[in-house]
Structure 1
């Protein structure tokens, strides 16, 4: 009864339709699992990058604090001599 009549191609078999739907759902599930794995890997990599950048930022902040302390101590000792255009001009002028 559920045979496909060559003259009438609109007749469908519920068992075939059900199998097709299950196969489609399985393919979608596999695709979702693959996407989820990819996203998890991406998050792990981003976490590593953020951790590395945070350490680098902390190092740069310590270095900057050290430089500020050096500049402040130089200012107290008389500091850096002011720049004089005429006295500091290159010899080729």
Structure 2
């Protein structure tokens, strides 16, 4: 083989390897971005859970029977029945 053929063979082998290296670099960046997003959403979810717990505590501690009349399904039938 000549020196030119060896260089052509190396070039033909290195091009796919370079393409794979570029793809891996982009995939690494994408994985980092997705990891940051998941971490952000986990914090947001924890905050929302805390807010829901506070709302449940407020509802349980308040006496809602003062402003709400009792409902009797037999006596309070809608007009179309």
TM-score, structure 1 normalization = 0.63
5+ residue gaps, structure 2: 71-81
2:61 pairs with 1:69: no
Corresponding residue for residue 75 of structure 2:
none
In 1, distance between residues paired with 2:64 and 2:17? Answer: 73
Is there any run of 5+ residues in structure 1 with no aligned partner, and where?
Answer: 1-12, 83-93
Bigger relative contact order, structure 1 or 2 (CA pairs below 8 A, ≥6 apart): 1
Q: Which has the larger radius of gyration?
A: 1
- C-alpha offsets along residues 27-86 of structure 1, whole Å, 9 cap, x if unaligned? 111111111100000000000000000000000000000000101111xx344566xxxx
- Following superposition, the deviation at residue 18 of structure 1 comes to 3.8
Instruction: Give the CA RMSD over aligned residues.
Output: 2.8
**As a proportion of its length, which structure holds more helix?**
2
Q: 1:78 to 1:28 in 2, by over 3 A?
A: closer
In the superposition, the TM-score normalised over structure 2's length comes to 0.71
